[in-house]
Copies of this chain bind each other. A is one copy, B any other.
Amino acid sequence: MSKRFVIVGLGLIGGSMALALKGFEDFEIVGVDVSEPTLRFAREHGVADAVTNRAREAVEGADVVMLALHPQGILDFLEEHRDSFKAGCLVTDVCGVKSAVMEGAKCLPPQVDFIGCHPMAGTEFSGVEHAFAEMFQGSHLILTPREDSTEEHLELLERLARHIGCQDVVRTTPGQHDAILAYTSQMMHIIAVSVCDDPSLFACKGYEGSSFRGCTRVAALDVRLWTQLFSLNAPALVGCLDTLIGNLSAYREAIASGDREALAGKLAWSADRKRKMDLPGPDLLG
């Protein structure tokens, strides 16, 4: 008899997860959403094995429930459905802040496990119509287990990561996750929108190359989602922005001073740090 894997929220990430999970062990993939157009699209395109707007029924029969909602939506869903999960069920999520979500999951009864999950993938679009099965290929999957999370559940999520094509699985604490993500993800979005706030934005069409496209791509963001992510991680993000503003100001001074040798030395130091990172960057040309 097959087990049931319920994905709540068939947006960009939930829809892509459903597509990527096709054929995962003996799970039946069930998608839940409140939007009729989303359910119709998902049904017509075979995004999941079954789709429904009846969250409670779906959750009651689930072995795994993955909440692919905005952070506040996750907190609200946990609160509303805390007593619907069956004993032994694994509840997880996909969102970009972990402390607030892990805190919210404390409302679950003791026989329901919760492991925070954050697949580091996405695009600047939203909605099931932009979902695609390859989204997670080569990305990192971050897990923040509770102290009493079972090894069986952690291993299940590691097999899931392999199935959807993740590059690796990283286990960490919610606090560590949020501190690092403020830097690697949230700050990148604040940079992108800040660059687009420049009065010259529209004059620059025809003069932009790959560095501009790469830096500003994510500026066309999902406002509700990112307002929540920034707000739920405000202290860490503000700290990162202060560091960035300091580093930018130091470069500004080095350039304004006219001391080319000092500028070259500073650039060599930064460029060397980047090379030591040795990230497999996207091949961005043109």
Contacts and interface: CB of A to CB of B under 8 A. Distances in A.
Tell me what chain A mostly uses at the interface: helix, strand, loop, or mixed.
Answer: helix
Interface of A: 120-124, 134-140, 142, 168, 170, 177, 179-181, 183-185, 187-221, 223-224, 226-228, 230-231, 234, 237-238, 240-245, 247-252, 255-256, 258, 260, 263-264, 267-271, 273-277, 279-282, 284-286
A251 B194 contact: yes
Contact of A196 (B210, B234, B273, B282): B273
Contact of A234 (B135, B205, B210, B256): B256
A220 B134 CA distance: 28
Given A247-B197, A271-B220, A274-B216, A211 B190 contact: no
Nearest to A276: B202
B214 A248 contact: no
24 contacts: A121-B285, A124-B281, A134-B285, A140-B206, A180-B207, A183-B200, A184-B207, A190-B251, A191-B191, A191-B215, A192-B215, A195-B244, A196-B270, A196-B273, A199-B243, A219-B270, A219-B271, A221-B271, A223-B271, A227-B263, A230-B255, A231-B258, A241-B252, A284-B284
Question: Most B CB atoms within 10 A — which of A200, A282, A285, A286?
Answer: A286
A121 B210 contact: yes
Given A193-B270, A274-B219, A184 B210 contact: no
Contacts of A195: 187-188, 191, 244, 247
A227 B260 contact: yes
